[in-house]
Amino acid sequence: MQRLAEFTLWWQGVLYRDIATAMKKVRQMRKIALISLTLAFPMVAHAEIVTPKVLVITMFGEETKPWLENLQLPKRIAVTGLPKSAPDVVCNEDLCVMTTTMGFANAAASTAAVALSDKLDLSKTYFIIAGIAGIDPSKGTLGSAAWADYVIDGGLFHRMATSEAPAEWKSTVVELGAGVPGEKQAWGAGTEVFEMNKPLLEAALAASRNVTLADGETATAYRALYSQPAAKDKPGVTSCTTISADTYWHGAGVATELAAHAKVLTDGKADYCTSQMEDNATLTALSRAADAGRLDFGRIAVLRTASNFDRPHDGQSTAESLAAKSGGFGPATQNAFLVGNALAEDIIAHWSRYEAGLKN
């Protein structure tokens, strides 16, 4: 019996030592696994926050392409909420580029996703919205670049068919809450008008005024069909008002109504020249982010370059004008980069001037 008891005690000791040894090995293996995970996925342990000096916002792939082809942008940041076709913000140390995809809904959703992302610190970032547009032939020509002083929503108003409007009306656009065309709106959404920061606008013009712009033989031949001196001229850099609308409208009739709409909303200050499909939506998202303390709304510049005229030339129907191959698309996408990048380079090269913001 004594030997049996001694054997039992010996066996229990062996078991306890083996269990302790096994538990020690388990703890060691867990530590090794955690270290391995940290080494394999350092972003999990130390998430990097990107702080660009400039964020370029484009609206579709062909607008983005020149930025990707001409700049080194090796860093890719996946941002939740961006579209599947453009899921990343691409960056270098100073500048990032994002693509919203087209139209108001996409522009607002994508811009909000980036502006509110905790992967970027945009508190001192300058935003350059750079895309193509239609242009009034009395204000510019194919390939011309226009920095916006005002950005006007071309959809927030009442409208009826011409055939149903009173005969004495010269327009079918009636401001929200108003009774007749030309009367100021009685109520609104609060996103109808954005006035851009004048000192930044002046800086953009100064940085880009002497940029050599792209042009083409087809665009040269097409602009010669127009009678307006500005349409016949070579492309240049200017400033004027841009109008945003989801509807890709075309023709002198609609253009005239929307130009008048812009003047009513700004007490005659807006001088319409370009039309596009996103900017009020993009600016609304950025203004919400500014209200949340995420960015400075005074650091936004809006650039549009002319890919087409917004109306036909003499002897051409509006339908023919809409379908025409004017040759402006290629120069416009190139010039959005050339002109926009001139401002970006100025901001980066003279950061000591820009860092605190440009104020009146």
The percentage of the chain sitting over the pLDDT mark of 90, rounded to a whole number, equals 86
- The average pLDDT across 152-160 equals 97
Euclidean distance between CA atoms 126 and 300, whole angstroms: 6
User: Dihedral through CA 290, CA 301, CA 336, CA 284, nearest 10?
Assistant: 40
Element (H, E) at 287: helix 279-291
What is the C-alpha separation between 328 and 88, in angstroms, rounded?
28
What confidence tier does 267 reach under pLDDT thresholds 50, 70, 90? very high
So what's the pLDDT on residue 180? Answer: 97
* pLDDT range class, residue 360, cuts 50, 70, 90: confident
Mean pLDDT of the chain: 91
Q: Which two tokens stand for residue 302?
A: 């809006």
- Segment 217-229 shows an average pLDDT of 98
CATH fold of 54-156+191-354 reads Rossmann fold (3.40.50)
For residue 2, what pLDDT is reported? 52
Q: Which of 152, 143, 113, 155 is nearest to 279 (CA)?
A: 152
Length of the chain: 360
Over the stretch 294-307, which tens digit does the pLDDT of each residue have? 999 999 999 999 99
* Domain boundaries defined on the chain: 54-156+191-354
pTM to 2 decimals? Answer: 0.87
Of residues 284 and 47, more confidence is placed in 284
